[in-house]
Structure 1
Amino acid sequence: MNVSEGLSRVKSLLSHWATPRELPSQLTWKYGHESELLSWRIKARNYNTTVANLALLVMLMIASAIALVLYFSSEFIKEPWRTLSHVFVFALISIPAVCMTRQRMNFAYRFTASGAEFCEWKNFPEWTLRFLTCLAIVTAILFACMASLDRDASYLIYAVIGPAKVMLLRASMNSKIYRGVHTIFHLRTFEWSEFTEVVIDEKQGLVGLEFAWYDDYMKEDALSVASLFAKRRELDHLLAFFDERLPHLPRVARSIDRAA
């Protein structure tokens, strides 16, 4: 089997990754004028997932503890409002926790005869602002209904304080600084000659390409690994592609930093 046939076979095997490969307007392929040998797009968690999952578990336990403490210390609230209000407290804490620890980045990879291009981007989640706005409205309506049904004006205080806190959170999330932190656009371009090793992390199901670069701060040459996020079941097909394109590079089995 010659090189062209091998590349065609790998490209066919990866065809089910054929999600739209359109890039955001902030990014443009450098080798876009060349025919692609292989390309795919995927959403992945580019951070230590074990730590994130543990953090989520801890935050859910804290949310449960806070909700239970508030439940048993608010005997003045009648049922079923007492239960509903504290389920709401749990949701208010846990939903942001889930969103923070399950974030995914958009990745797009494109290989041509000239080299490789890796794009990553994350747009600001506008849905969170809409969710908080709806949450504030629902909270106000809920406590207003409680005040009307139980004829207890104290609920009107919560009808003001609850939505006010939610809208304050929304305002802080809508700030320029917060938006900047949660909006990312990166493009990395490599020539084939820049790669020095093919790194395999079977535990995470990742393949990485090691490359050399000059560290201006340390004033010395350095090595880094570009992670290639893909479906675990396609690991062998991806390695076959690199066998065709980079047969001279050694394969090394070691851990890959997902955030690199």
Structure 2
Amino acid sequence: MLKFNKPLDLPPQLQWKYANEPELMTWSIRARNYNTFIANAMFWFCFVAITAGSSFLYRSTKEYLVFNAISTLLFFIIVNAALISMTHQRMNFAYRITQSGVEYCEWKDFPKWALTFLKWFTGMMAIIFIYLATIDPTFLIGALIGPGAMGLMYLSMANSKTYQRMQTEYHHHFLHWKELTKSTVATNRVMMEHEYSVPQEGSIYMTIGRQYIFFTPKDKERVTQLIKNNLLPGTPYVFGKVDVLN
């Protein structure tokens, strides 16, 4: 049985800084750490355009209907898969709350499953086109354009260290309770926003910013109440819309 809610394990590149302190609460989650409204709007706009383009591509050719249908379906699947990978990316988060503050790690590993999927999908499409080529040699052109291009894409992704580094991230964050200047419980997403002010090392100036805490709906009450109880007296704790600025 697949366990889609299995807790995420920290990668070896990340370690808890305050692991010696008893934890008040810990959890992990995969979340979209960006403005999802814009991303969703972009997805649906592009999806409609891709669907219209696929329909036009299919209707533009009257001959070789089987080849045309397969090539159109291939175009539709590949382009939409690329679109979803851009608009619905998720980051891995692990949170740990202690008496000292809020500590969390975020990371994104290179998606090796994408390479496996692309390899098997390319192989299946190549077999289909080779079989169709026994009926009509014209399908060999389709095999070069479709599965051939996908094979080149697979090789470039699998062998490009630069591309793999671009798809990999590891970050560690910690905020003391005294550094939090405001906490906002989002009304438009299941998350919190923390504004903070941290002294710059060797400087009289402060670093001002905001961090986002993601959690599941079933943990919302427990997380928000725990954070509220540990904020310093006088720290604003409000409810409102949060626009993720990442």
TM-score norm. by structure 2 comes to: 0.86
Please point out which of 190, 196, 202 is paired with 2:175: 190
Please point out which of 133, 138, 157 is paired with 2:124: 138
Q: For 1:127 and 1:242, how far apart are their aligned partners in 2?
A: 36
The count of corresponding residues between Structure 1 and Structure 2 is: 238
- SS across alignment from 1:160: helix
Moved more, 57-66 or 179-188: 57-66
Deviations 1:211-259 (A, max 9, x none): 113579xx95342221110123543332221232125122134443435
| Counterpart residue identity of residue 179, structure 1 | Q
Q: Tell me the C-alpha RMSD between the 2 structures.
A: 2.3
CA drift of 1:153 comes to: 1.4
- The answer to whether the 8 A contact 1:212-1:221 is kept is yes
Percent of residue pairs identical? 33
Q: Aligned runs of 1:1-260 on 2, under 5 Å?
A: 19-20=6-7, 22-79=9-66, 81-148=67-134, 150=135, 152-174=136-158, 175-213=160-198, 220-248=205-233, 249-260=235-246
Q: For 2:243 and 2:208, how far apart are their aligned partners in 1?
A: 13
- The answer to whether the 8 A contact 2:71-2:146 is kept is no
Gaps in structure 2 of 5+ consecutive residues: none
Q: For 2:11 and 2:119, how far apart are their aligned partners in 1?
A: 27
Q: For 1:250 and 1:54, how far apart are their aligned partners in 2?
A: 32
| Counterpart residue identity of residue 172, structure 2 | L
CA drift of 1:183 comes to: 0.7
CA drift of 1:154 comes to: 1.6
- SS across alignment from 1:197: strand
CA drift of 1:49 comes to: 0.7
| Counterpart residue identity of residue 140, structure 2 | L
Go from structure 1 to structure 2 and tell me whether the alpha carbon gap of 1:169 and 1:180 turns closer, same or farther (over 3 Å shift). Answer: same
Moved more, 47-56 or 249-258: 249-258
- The answer to whether the 8 A contact 2:25-2:98 is kept is yes
| Counterpart residue identity of residue 158, structure 1 | G
TM-score norm. by structure 1 comes to: 0.82
